[in-house]
Structure 1
Amino acid sequence: MQQYWNRWENWMQQHAPRLLNILHPGVTPEAMEALEKLIGTAMPASFKAFYALHNGQQKARAGLVDADQLLSVEDITVQWHHWKDLLDAGTFTWHEEPILATPDTGIKNDWWNPLWIPFTGDGFGNHLCIDLDPAPEGRRGQVITLWHDDSHRAIVAGSFEEWLQDYISAVERGDYIFVKRWGIVHKDTFLNYND
């Protein structure tokens, strides 16, 4: 995982050196173990190795993942509890029937599943998640979208490492740029304007 951080930090150094200042140091083994105990299963080895080097980013206006925050393990825990509280309160049911999502093949049709672990966030309830409980056609550890007000759930990558490779390669290729107000954003997004 060191290679991915090296590549990402090298890009930041060239294009947005101030982003280097919002990276947390690596997560402690105790914090990672606490997350795994909370969710009741192990996180993927690639995720743990990546987070051992940098535990996501500080809460800042600038996001590292297409304007979204790369959540720390502590922030992942907060978001997980938020979604779990909504689930436990019956928010995802209507007349005692579950509200179903419309997922890609390979994702369960839950509105939210306790084994969908958010690792990015936009501050409005939208995330990329690691899916540790896929449908039979899916892969454990696949990366999926979770939008709080949209029923579609999409598979973004087959694994955390695959997502990471694709994203960092796209950043290096120039598909993403730095915009001071938002952080790293896709070059074609509406967020791409001079401020």
Structure 2
Amino acid sequence: MQEIWARIESWLAANAPQLLDTLQPGASETQIKAVEAVLGIQFPKEVRASYRIHNGQSAYDYGLLDGHELLSLERIQEEWKIWKDLLDGGDFNGEKSDADPGIRSDWWNAQWIPLTYDGAGNHDCLDLNPGEGGNRGQIIEMWHDAPERVIVASSFREWLEQYATGLESGEFIFSEEGNGIVNADDL
């Protein structure tokens, strides 16, 4: 994780220093365990390692990941609670998603942990309860108002590594109008 974050930080320093300034210092083991207890989960080692380096963004002035906020542990807990309250309230009863193979067909699952937020209820989630053929810890895309559930990476490490490579290759660029770092093809 150190190497991947060093690549991301280097790119940010050269291309979007205002975003580098939004990355929070790492979380403590106590903070990580507290969030795990509330969510009733245990993060994979690579997620824990990443959050010990940077505890998400401190502000959502600009999105770090394709215009999305990288959630801090506190923000993960807040966003997860919103979805959990909807689930417990029966809002998703009878609702199914159109999920990629390897993802459960739930509309939302309490073991889908939001990692990013786009400001409109959509997330990249850490999937700790995959469907048959999926990988525990895969990253899925979850839109609040669309049924598609797509696997974007087989692991947190792969997801973050793909992002670092995308920055270095020019796939992602900083855009004021795009509210942060966005896919260059989207402009």
2:142 counterpart residue number? 146
Number of residue pairs the alignment of both structures matches: 186
Counterpart of 1:91 in structure 2 is 91
**1:79 equivalent in alignment to 2:79:** yes
Where 1:22 maps in the other structure, the secondary structure is coil
Return the match for 2:183 from 181, 186, 193. Answer: 186
* Distance in 2, Cα, partners of 1:29 & 1:42: 12
SS in 1 for 2:21: helix
RMSD of the TM alignment (CA)?
0.9
Task: Tell me, in whole angstroms, the C-alpha distance in 2 between the residues paired with 1:183 and 1:104.
Answer: 28
Deviation at 1:60, TM superposition (A): 2.3
What's the TM-score once normalised by structure 2's chain length? 0.97
The answer on whether the counterparts of 2:39 and 2:77 sit within 8 Å (CA) in structure 1 is: no
Question: Alpha-carbon deviations, 1:31-87, whole Å to 9, x = none?
Answer: 110111122221010011011011010222201000000000000000000000001
* Secondary structure of 1:140 counterpart: coil
List runs of 5+ in structure 1 lacking aligned partners.
Answer: none
Larger deviation, residues 177-186 vs 160-169: 177-186
Distance in 2 separating the partners of 1:90 and 1:102: 19
Pick one of 120, 123, 132 that aligns with 1:124. Answer: 120
**TM-superposed deviation, 1:151:** 0.6
Tell me the residue number matched to 2:24: 24
For normalisation by structure 1, the TM-score amounts to 0.93
Moved over 4 A (4+): none
| CA distance in 2: counterparts of 1:123 and 1:92, whole angstroms | 21
Distance in 1 between the 2:159 and 2:22 partners?
21
Q: Percent identity?
A: 46
5+ long unaligned stretches in structure 2: none
Larger radius of gyration: 1
